[in-house]
Amino acid sequence: MTRKPFTAVDPAVPMNYLCFVFRTLGKDGYEVETLLAGTGLTAEQIEDPNFRCDFWSHLRFYKNAIALTNDPHLGPKLAQRFETNYIGLPAYAAMNAACLGDALEVLNRFLFLTFPSIEFTFPDEEVDPQTGEVAIRLRPKLEFGDITYLVFSSGLVVCDGICRQTLRATQAASRAELALTEPEGWVDAASLLNFPVRFDSLEHRLFFPADLLHQPLPGADPINHKWLLGLCEQFAAEASFETTVDIQVVTFLKARHNLDISMSEVAAALGYSERSLRRQLERSGVSFRKLVDQVREIRARWMLTNTPKTVEAIAYELGFETSSNFARSFKRWTGVTPREFRDGQRAYRNSGQK
């Protein structure tokens, strides 16, 4: 079957997680019909295992959930109550694998069947195996905007839950990283998690000890595992989507040391004409400049937090002609200058809160 691009208007998002949120908030006493406002969804559709919604409806639903609960940390809090079996077929195939490493390989191949807007990668090959750790990496396939924190904090908690529940253990993840600024009130949310989280990182990652990969799973069943893998492969052949063009651009930019690069150069490297790349990005609702700035901001935050490089050196690596141009852009992104940001990070670390 020909693979097709996954776009924000494709009816491709299953109801697994939406139904979990809808059901859980209802049990907590909220007027859950409010969650459906502006989504075009009905309660019957959310409970239909064969129904798929588009990305925009899915986005609106989660914005409604935050507004309904008035809780900016709703994502990680709800994710702690999520059971692995709610994922469906990929989870059942993983839970029947021989060991945790095999289970995560199954999810690496098939988790998109349940979460098509998130790229799940295991193992993350950018993590040095000599550290004794391995990592799951999560990346967006589309722009989540102001629910990015909800989605990826939830995602890391769910991944930890998958590992713990599959192993039937109380602890799996050792730490996590988010490519986001620490949100206000994080201390209260952090106290509920099983692992520490570091913000202003380059990627969304969950780390755990490498020796867990070889740990046998209590639910291992080779007969059912083989059968369930076959079903996963069947559904994957029918439902797979290509990576979107904006994610191709971001992935290419993240792999470069220096971000002083033109749109025509990126287009040529990815096999597009400049006109074709611009047109496809416009269809995705983003511009090349916005994607470059997105990668620049994440990398700038990371270098200011984790390296002794000067502001001038960072500006050069990010492709700015002068450090003053970088400083103006950084203040536009974050509200503070690079030096103010670095001083704030140092003061925060020295306070002993991390």
Same domain, 235 and 277: no
Same domain, 276 and 236: no
3 confidence band (pLDDT: 50, 70, 90) = low
Boundary (domain end) residue, out of 214, 242, 270: 242
pLDDT exceeding 90 applies to what percent of the chain? 63
Report pLDDT digits (tens) over 324-333: 999 999 999 9
Q: What is the pLDDT of residue 158?
A: 97
| Cα–Cα distance for residue pair 137/176, rounded to 1 Å | 10
Residue 174 lies in a domain: yes
Same domain, 80 and 203: yes
Looking at every residue in the chain, the average pLDDT score rounds to: 89
Same domain, 196 and 222: yes
257 confidence band (pLDDT: 50, 70, 90) = confident
Sequence-ordered alpha helix ranges (H) in 175-261: 186-190, 222-239, 245-254
Range(s) of the domain holding residue 200: 71-242
Residue 310 lies in a domain: yes
| Cα–Cα distance for residue pair 3/247, rounded to 1 Å | 16
280 confidence band (pLDDT: 50, 70, 90) = confident
Alpha carbon of 54 to those of 15, 94, 216, 234: distances in Å? Answer: 11, 27, 38, 22
Is 119 a residue whose pLDDT tops 70?
Answer: yes
Residue 18 lies in a domain: no
Same domain, 237 and 249: no
Least confident of 42-46, 204-208, 255-259: 255-259
Is 354 a residue whose pLDDT tops 50?
Answer: no
Residue 41 lies in a domain: no
- Please state the rounded mean pLDDT for residues 27-43: 92
Q: What is the CATH number of the domain that holds 257?
A: 1.10.10.60
**Number of domains, the chain:** 2
Q: Does 272 or 350 have the greater pLDDT score? A: 272
Residue 66 lies in a domain: no
Alpha carbon of 169 to those of 137, 160, 163, 241: distances in Å? Answer: 21, 11, 8, 34
E strand or H helix at 177: strand 175-177
> pTM for this one?
0.75
Is 287 a residue whose pLDDT tops 80?
Answer: yes
